[in-house]
Amino acid sequence: DLLVVGSANADLVIGVERRPGAGETVLGSDLAVHPGGKGANQAVAAARLGARTALLARVGDDDHGRLLLDSQRAAGVDTAGVLAGGAPTGVALITVDPSGDNSIVVSPGANGRLTPADVRAATGLVHASEVVSAQLEIPLETVVEVVRTLAPGSRFVLNPSPPRELPREVLDACDPLIVNEHEAKVILGTSEAGEGPEDWARRLLAEGPRSVVVTLGAEGALVASAQGVARVPSVRVDAVDTTGAGDAFTAALAWRLGTGATLAEAAAYAARVGAAAVTKAGAQESYPTAREVEAL
Ligand code: ADP
């Protein structure tokens, strides 16, 4: 089974002709409200593929929290680990201009109140999972507690987003650490000129993870482990909206690893899932079923 520990946000999206400056008001489109947040996205992506998936997260006791619970249940995610209350549900306020560029303000809300004690109280859920996948839209000390709570032999997958410096204890547990270009650069500190993804993968591996995956958008991905660095072919598609592609990639990879796939096999499958996700608008709404991945 797969356990995702992470954030759940309501994405509030308004289309604008241009963004307001300080003190200015602009009129925009009708409001669209979508379930989002990296943890919630990953859980939905895995469940849609057919993975037995549970989510450990915190939402508010409010309408946004209920929207998120509904979308998880509709996808077939076990929501017994979704806690409610303590703060309003996390929200992302998103404006999109005609060229498709976003400006985003995130209020972490209840995500910031998912505590190490919540993880300890969910020890049974953590121990029931062969693979546990986390991101960084919840407090770092909560992610540290996840690492400490893992059952022996279970596998920990981390997408350090939004990126920040990580304690050695967390780095050492990652198998793999999954980063895009931006996250790789932040975690390594300033990147040296002339370095490419292969160099980042090798340098990240030297920081402690048992394996590393670098995602490269339309270029596919790289996998790195003690066996060396290998390229994962990209799948050519007409990209419509890349929102949430990284979350779908990570979820698919984590699930395949739990079924016994090698890192290279799991990453090749995840690249197909990520590619399918960019062919449709939205995040959770764009996630493919296993049948749709086969058809790609
Ligand atoms: P993030 O959203 O975290 O920045 P990426 O953009 O690297 O992550 O996307 C994650 C994965 O999704 C990529 O490694 C790739 O396999 C797939 N993917 C993303 N964008 C495209 C695209 N335009 N065409 C094909 N595959 C894509």
pLDDT at residue number 281:
86
CA angle 149, 153, 154 (to 5 degrees): 60
Question: Is 25 part of any domain?
Answer: no
Question: Is 24 part of any domain?
Answer: no
Asked if 44 and 247 count as a contact pair (C-beta separation under 8 A), the reply is: no
C-alpha radius of gyration, the chain, whole number: 18
Pair of tokens at residue 34:
């979508």
Cis peptide before 162 (omega within 30 of 0): yes
pLDDT at residue number 101:
83
Q: Domain with 222 in it: what CATH number?
A: 3.40.1190.20
DSSP 56-84: EEEE-SSHHHHHHHHHHHHHT-B-TTEEE
Give the residue, out of 180, 182, 236, with the most ligand 1 atoms within 8 A of its beta carbon, to mutate for a pocket test. Answer: 180
In this structure, the number of other CB atoms found within 10 A of the CB of residue 253 comes to: 33
Is the CB–ligand 1 distance for residue 237 below 6 Å? yes
Q: Which pTM does this prediction carry? A: 0.96
Residue ID of nearest Cα to ligand 1 atom 17: 274
Give the residue, out of 200, 242, 273, 280, with the most ligand 1 atoms within 8 A of its beta carbon, to mutate for a pocket test. Answer: 242
Is the CB–ligand 1 distance for residue 180 below 6 Å? yes
Question: Is 124 part of any domain?
Answer: yes
> Rounded to an integer, what is the distance from CA 148 to the centroid of its chain?
20
pLDDT by 10s per residue, the chain, length 296: 999 999 999 999 999 999 999 999 999 999 999 999 999 999 999 999 999 999 999 999 999 999 999 999 999 999 999 999 999 999 999 999 998 888 999 999 999 999 999 999 999 999 999 999 999 999 999 999 999 999 999 999 999 999 999 999 999 999 999 999 999 999 998 777 788 999 999 999 999 999 999 999 999 999 999 999 999 999 999 998 888 999 999 999 999 999 999 999 999 999 999 999 999 988 999 999 999 999 98
Q: Beta 9-15 vs 90-96: how paired, if at all?
A: parallel
Is the CB–ligand 1 distance for residue 181 below 6 Å? no
pLDDT at residue number 190:
75
Split into its structural domains, the chain has a count of 1
Residue ID of nearest Cα to ligand 1 atom 20: 217
* 32 three-class SS: strand
Q: Beta 53-59 vs 82-84: how paired, if at all?
A: parallel
Integer Cα distance of 56 and 43 in angstroms: 10
Is the CB–ligand 1 distance for residue 251 below 6 Å? no
17 labeled binding residue: no
What's the complex ipTM? 0.97
Question: Is 152 part of any domain?
Answer: yes
Question: Is 94 part of any domain?
Answer: no
Domain residue limits at 221: 2-7+37-88+110-295
216 labeled binding residue: yes
90 labeled binding residue: no
CA angle 158, 161, 163 (to 5 degrees): 105
Residue ID of nearest Cα to ligand 1 atom 6: 217
pLDDT at residue number 113:
98
Question: Is 214 part of any domain?
Answer: yes
Atom of ligand 1 nearest to the CA of 275: 26
Asked if 176 and 183 count as a contact pair (C-beta separation under 8 A), the reply is: no
From the list 160, 159, 157, the residue with the least C-alpha distance to 130 is 157
From the list 134, 182, 138, 128, the residue with the least C-alpha distance to 159 is 134
> Distance, CA 25 to ligand 1 centroid (Å)?
35
Question: Is 248 part of any domain?
Answer: yes
Question: Is 93 part of any domain?
Answer: no
* 151 three-class SS: coil
Based on the residue annotation, tell me whether 30 is a catalytic residue of this protein: no
Asked if 244 and 287 count as a contact pair (C-beta separation under 8 A), the reply is: yes
